[in-house]
Structure 1
Amino acid sequence: MNKASSLYGKSLYDLAKEEHLEKEILEEMSCVKTLLEENPEYYSLLAEPSIPKKERLSLLDQAFATELQPYLLNFLKLLLEKGLVRGFKESYKTYKALYQEDQGIAEALVTSAVPLQEEQKSALIEKLQKLCAKTIILSEKIDPKVLGGLKVEVAGKTLDGTVSARLKEIRKTVNEVVL
């Protein structure tokens, strides 16, 4: 389902780009994603095969006909008809990634044992922007298991400078040594 959902998300992005509606549809998709996350029972209702498709399509019209771009509403209907409505989040991720790529934006996730200070965040963003040649949106995750150092995931790459990763490397080297 993920592959199909990603393909549909890419197709929607291509259409939105052609119509110069990329940002508007992204914002609307974000609202729909939030609404579906906050109301999982509605998500289940849309995906329920025992309810006729016609009724489920009508539910989408009732909820979104005046709120969404027709392209996005038709996209949701298409996902419903193809049995991929649960793949909307994946479609959204794909669409968002394509939009950010076109805008020269990359999301980075930094994992550290303790929260970073603002100066550290700024310095990290600056270095990542030089490395990726993109504007960086930084998200922070705190995980005491890393012990120290940073793990950064950006543009499909992982830069792991954590103490726990170094200890794993040392453990692997020691285990490889034959006594």
Structure 2
Amino acid sequence: MSQAAERYALALFQTAQKHQVTAEVEQDLREVKKIFATTPELYQLMVSPKLSSEKRINLINELFKQGNQYVVNTIQLIAERGRLNEVGELVDAFINLSNDAQGIQDAKVYSTRLLTEEERASISTVFAQKVGKQSLRIENIIDPSLIGGLRLQIGNRIYDSSISTKLARLQRQLIG
């Protein structure tokens, strides 16, 4: 992650905290990242040197006019400085700062079916303690190839109790 993205994220985070709009800013930043990720043509246009700075700022204002003003101002600033390619890193850095402040960690839980709220809460309670956080923000991903059980990804840690992994381990033991 670039130092510039981290600095922009920290400045935006401090501003959001000061004005008590951290959750709103985080939600808007996630939306900005999603928009750029799902519409590569827009992203390519925004980072194109052929687009004048004035038109780029006008486009940002038009696209994100419903968003939080701190987010819009930050996007404008990084656009003016030619760093729009670092938007994704800025969003990730902001989310990390926000999560750390709240004692939350993002987690991906792969399962063969959709988890109930009760199961999510139980997983959050157990695994949050293991990673030293208060709770987990769980994204449930359906993966029928697991056959059964769960696979959790929390940061760079993976906890795997899926049947497919157990079968693969058993196969390695039997075959050698």
TM-score category (smaller protein): 0.7 to 0.9
- TM-score by length of structure 2 reads 0.74
Aligned counterpart, 1:72: 71
1:170 aligns with 2:170: yes
Residues 64 and 122 of structure 1: CA distance in aligned 2, closer, same or farther (over 3 Å): closer
Residues 21 and 140 of structure 1: CA distance in aligned 2, closer, same or farther (over 3 Å): closer
* Secondary structure at 2:2 match in 1: helix
Looking at structure 2, the residues matched to 168 and 67 of structure 1 have their Cα atoms a distance apart, in angstroms, of 48
- TM-score by length of structure 1 reads 0.73
Aligned counterpart, 1:139: 139
Looking at structure 1, the residues matched to 128 and 33 of structure 2 have their Cα atoms a distance apart, in angstroms, of 29
Residues 155 and 59 of structure 1: CA distance in aligned 2, closer, same or farther (over 3 Å): closer
Residues 120 and 68 of structure 1: CA distance in aligned 2, closer, same or farther (over 3 Å): closer
How far has the Cα of 1:102 moved from its partner?
A: 0.3
Residues 149 and 68 of structure 1: CA distance in aligned 2, closer, same or farther (over 3 Å): closer
> What is the CA RMSD across the aligned residues, in angstroms?
3.1
Contact kept, 8 Å, 2:125 with 2:135, in 1: the verdict is: no
Contact kept, 8 Å, 1:5 with 1:88, in 2: the verdict is: no
How far has the Cα of 1:36 moved from its partner?
A: 4.6
* Secondary structure at 1:54 match in 2: helix
Looking at structure 1, the residues matched to 122 and 24 of structure 2 have their Cα atoms a distance apart, in angstroms, of 32
Aligned residues: 174
Contact kept, 8 Å, 2:60 with 2:72, in 1: the verdict is: yes
How far has the Cα of 1:46 moved from its partner?
A: 1.6
Which of the pair has more CA radius of gyration? 1
Tell me the amino acid that sits aligned with residue 167 of structure 2: L
Residues 164 and 82 of structure 1: CA distance in aligned 2, closer, same or farther (over 3 Å): farther
- Aligned pairs for 1:111-122 (under 5 A) are 111-122=110-121
How far has the Cα of 1:99 moved from its partner?
A: 0.4
Tell me the amino acid that sits aligned with residue 142 of structure 1: I
* Secondary structure at 1:138 match in 2: strand
Which consecutive residues of structure 2, in runs of 5 or more, have no partner in the other structure?
Answer: none
- Per-residue Cα deviation, 1:134-160 (whole angstroms, up to 9, x for no partner): 122222111111121111122542111
Looking at structure 2, the residues matched to 11 and 169 of structure 1 have their Cα atoms a distance apart, in angstroms, of 47
Which consecutive residues of structure 1, in runs of 5 or more, have no partner in the other structure?
Answer: none
How far has the Cα of 1:104 moved from its partner?
A: 1.4
Identity of aligned residues (%): 23
1:127 aligns with 2:122: no
